[in-house]
Structure 1
Amino acid sequence: MISDRHAWSRPELETVVPGVHRLPLPLPTDALRAVNVYLLAPEDGSPRGDGAELTLVDGGWAIDASRDVLGRLLGELGLATGDVRRFLVTHVHRDHYSQAVALRREHGARVALGAGERESLETVRTREDGLDAQTAGLDRAGAHDLATEVRRWVAAAEAPPPEDFTDPDEWLADGQELAAGGRSLVVRETPGHTRGHVVFVDETTADAGMLFAGDHVLPHITPSIGFEPAARPGALTRFLTSLAALRAEPDRMLLPAHGPVAPSVHDRVDELVAHHDKRLDEIAAAVAAGGSTALEVAGAIRWTRREYHLDDMETFNRMLAVLETDAHLEVLAAQGRVRRTADADTGVNHHAPA
Structure 2
Amino acid sequence: MQPLDDGTRPWTEPGLYSVAPGVYRIPLPMPNDGLRAVNVYALTDGESLTLVDSGWALDEAHARLASALSGIGAGLADIDRFLITHIHRDHYSLAVELRRKYGTPVALGAGERTTLDTVSEPGRMPMADQVALLRQAGGAPVVDALAALFRSVPAQDDSLWEQPDDWLEPGRTPAAGGRRSLEVVHTPGHTAGHVVFDDADAGLLFTGDHVLPHITPSIGLHAAPPPLPLRDFLASLASVRARPDRQMLPAHGPVSPSVHARVDELLDHHERRFDRIAATVADGAHTAYEVASRLTWTRRARALDELDPFNRMLAVLEVAAHLDVLVTREMLTVETGEDGVRRFDPV
Give the corresponding residue for 2:60: 65
1:29-82: CA deviations, max 9, x gaps? 11101100000100xx22xxxxxx210000000001101110111111111111
Does the CA contact (< 8 Å) of 2:175 and 2:181 recur in 1? yes
Within the candidate set 169, 184, 190, 1:187 is matched to 184
Q: Which amino acid aligns with 1:142?
A: G
Partner of 1:10: 13
- Residues in 1 aligned to 2:156 and 2:192: alpha-carbon distance in whole angstroms: 21
Contact 1:226 1:232 in 2 (8 A): no
Output the CA distance in 2 between the equivalents of 1:252 and 1:283: 32
Match of 1:279 in 2: 273
- Match status 1:229 vs 2:223: yes
Is the 1:88–1:112 contact (alpha carbons within 8 Å) kept by the matching residues of 2? yes
Q: Distance between the aligned counterparts of 2:283 and 2:256, measured in 1?
A: 39
Moved over 6 A (4+): none
- Structural mapping, 1:302-313, within 5 Å: 302-313=296-307
- Counterpart of 1:213 (choices 207, 213, 218) is 207
Residue deviations 1:279-306, cap 9 Å, x none? 1111011001100010000011111100
Q: Which residue of 2 aligns with 1:173?
A: 169
Say whether the 8 Å CA contact 1:195–1:226 is kept in structure 2. no
Contact 1:71–1:81 under 8 Å retained in 2: yes
SS at match of 2:11: helix
Cα distance in 1 for partners of 2:116, 2:241 equals 29
- Number of aligned pairs? 338
Partner of 1:25: 28
Q: Give the Å deviation of 1:93.
A: 0.3
TM-score, normalised relative to structure 2 = 0.95
Specify the alignment match of 1:119 in structure 2: 114
TM-aligned CA deviation for residue 276 of structure 1: 0.4
Would the alpha carbon gap of residues 155 and 173 (structure 1) be closer, same or farther in structure 2, given more than 3 Å must change? farther
For residues 5 and 228 of structure 1, the distance between their equivalents in structure 2, rounded to whole angstroms, comes to 35
Aligned to 1:265: 259
Q: Structure 2 CA distance, aligned partners of 1:292 and 1:15?
A: 50
Q: Which runs of 5+ in 1 are unaligned?
A: 47-52
What do the CA deviations read for 1:91-150 (whole angstroms, capped 9, x no partner)?
A: 000000000000000101000001111111111111421101100000000011211322
Deviates more, 1:230-239 or 1:313-322: 230-239
1:326 lines up with 2:320 in the alignment: yes
Distance 1:88 1:117, change over 3 A: same
- Given that 1:6 and 1:259 are in contact with CA atoms closer than 8 Å, whether structure 2 keeps it comes out as no
Given the two structures, how large is their TM-score scaled by the length of structure 1? 0.93
**Residue in 2 aligned with 1:49?**
none
Matched residue type, 2:183: V
Partner of 2:147: 151
CA distance in 2 between partners of 1:28 and 1:226 (Å): 20
RMSD: 1.4
Shift in alpha-carbon separation, 1:156–1:120, aligned structure 2, 3 A: farther
Query: What is residue 107 of structure 1 aligned with on the other side?
Result: 102
1:160 is aligned to 2:156: yes
Instruction: Say if 1:85 and 1:108, in contact at 8 Å, map to a contact too.
Output: no
Per-residue deviation, 1:214: 0.2
| 1:242 aligned partner, one-letter code | S
Contact 2:168 2:184 in 1 (8 A): yes
% identity of equivalent residues? 51
Partner of 1:90: 85
1:15: how far off?
0.8
Q: Alpha-carbon deviation of 1:347?
A: 1.3
User: CA contact under 8 A between 2:115 and 2:224: conserved in structure 1?
Assistant: yes
1: distance between equivalents of 2:146 and 2:186? 31
Is it true that 1:250 corresponds to 2:244 in the alignment? yes
C-alpha displacement of 1:155:
4.2
Q: Does 1:129 align with 2:125?
A: yes
Report if aligned partners of 1:251, 1:264 keep a CA contact under 8 Å in 2.
Answer: yes
Cα displacement string for residues 314-342 of structure 1 (whole angstroms, at most 9, x for unaligned residues)? 00000000000000000111111111111
Shift of residue 152, structure 1, vs aligned partner: 3.6
